[in-house]
Amino acid sequence: MGRLDGKVAVITGAASGIGAAAASLFAAEGAALVLGDLNHTGGEEIALQCRSADGRAVFQTTDVEDESQIKRLIDRATSEFGRLDVMYNNAGLGGAVGSIESTTIENWDRTMNVLLRAAMLGMKHAVPIMRAVGGGSIISTASVAGFYAGGPHAYSTAKAGVINLTRSVALEVGKHRIRVNCICPGLINTPLVYNHIPGGEPVAAQIFSQTQPIPRAGTPADVAAVALFLASDESQWITGEAIVIDGGLTVGSSQVGGGQGVSMTSPIAVFSGPSFLPRKG
C-alpha cells in the first residue's frame, strides 16, 4: 500500500529538479497528480514518466506569476480527480542577483511574484477545496537562505517570507485540519543551480560535497523524501514548521547563502530565471 494512496496532489515547478523528483515519488506512492510548470516539454515528459510507471498524472502549463493560472491548475485537480489533498508550492528561480543598488524593481518584483506571492496564491486557492474534503497538506519550498543574511537580497527576503507565511496560515487553517509546512533546503544540485556553474552537474556536486558536514551534494530526491512525509498522514500532527534539509550546512558552515554563482555584491544587475532558460543579465 502506497503512502499517498487515495490522495490527489498539485505540484508546481514539476518539470525538473525537486518538483520532478517529488512528482515521481508521489506517483510511486499512489497519489494522482496535477503538475504545473512553465516548461511545457519537460512537464509533459514527467507526467508521461509517471503514467508509464502506472501512476496517474496530468500536466498543465502554468505561469505562477498569474493568479488565474494557479487557480486553473488547482481546479484541474477536482475536475480530473475529484478532490485535492496536497498542494506543493515548489516553483522557483534564482531571481534578482546583484548588489542592492544594481537591483531593478522589475527583477525584484518578479522574484517576489514567483517565490512568495505564488506560494500565497497556492494556499489561497487550495484552502477552500481542502476544507470541503475535511483537510489536507500544503507544502512550500523555502530555503535556509530565509533564515540568514548572505544570500541574494531578493531571494533571501522572499524565502523568509515563505517561512513566516507558512506559520501564519497554519495558525488560521489548523481548525480545518489543513496542515501548512515548508521545506528549507540547503545546497541542492538541481538544474536551477548547476546550469550556471562552469562544468555543470558533476562540478557542482564536487563543490557542494565540501560545503557541509555530510560530504556529498544534496539531491532533489533528498527534498522529495521530506515532501512525501509532509504530504502523508505520517505528519498529520505537524503544522507551521520550516523543516531544514541541508546536510548540516547551517550548523557546520558559514556558507549559508542561496547564491546562484554570482556574488550578491556584484555591480552587475542579473536575473537568474527558470532552469530551462538562459540567465539574463
Cell numbers for 120? 500565497
Question: What CATH number does residue 144 fall under?
Answer: 3.40.50.720
The more confident residue out of 277 and 112 is 112
Of the candidate ranges 27-41, 142-156, 231-245, the one whose mean pLDDT is the lowest: 142-156
Of the candidate ranges 105-109, 170-174, 200-204, 238-242, the one whose mean pLDDT is the lowest: 200-204
Domain containing 170: what range?
A: 8-272
Instruction: For residue 208, give the H/E element and its range.
Output: helix 200-209
1 within domain boundaries: no
| Choice among 88, 148, 155, 194 that is catalytic | 155
pLDDT of residue 189: 84
162 within domain boundaries: yes
Strand 95-97 versus strand 270-272 pairing type: antiparallel
279 within domain boundaries: no
277 within domain boundaries: no
List strand residue ranges (DSSP E) for the chain, in order. Answer: 8-12, 32-37, 56-61, 86-89, 95-97, 136-141, 178-185, 242-245, 270-272
DSSP-based helix, strand, coil % in the chain, nearest 5 = 45, 15, 35
Q: Give the chain's domain count.
A: 1
Question: Under DSSP, is residue 172 helix (H, G, I), strand (E, B) or coil?
Answer: helix
CB 150 within 8 A of CB 156: yes
Distance between terminal CA atoms of the chain? 49
Four-point Cα dihedral 15, 65, 71, 175, nearest 10: 100
280 within domain boundaries: no
Chain segment 45-81, per-residue pLDDT in tens: 999 999 999 999 999 999 999 999 999 999 999 999 9
pLDDT of residue 5: 98
What global pTM score does this model have?
A: 0.90
Sorted by sequence, the CB contacts under 8 Å of residue 212 that are 6+ apart come out as 186, 187, 246, 247, 248, 249, 252, 253
113 within domain boundaries: yes
281 within domain boundaries: no
Residue 155 falls in the annotated catalytic set: yes
3 within domain boundaries: no
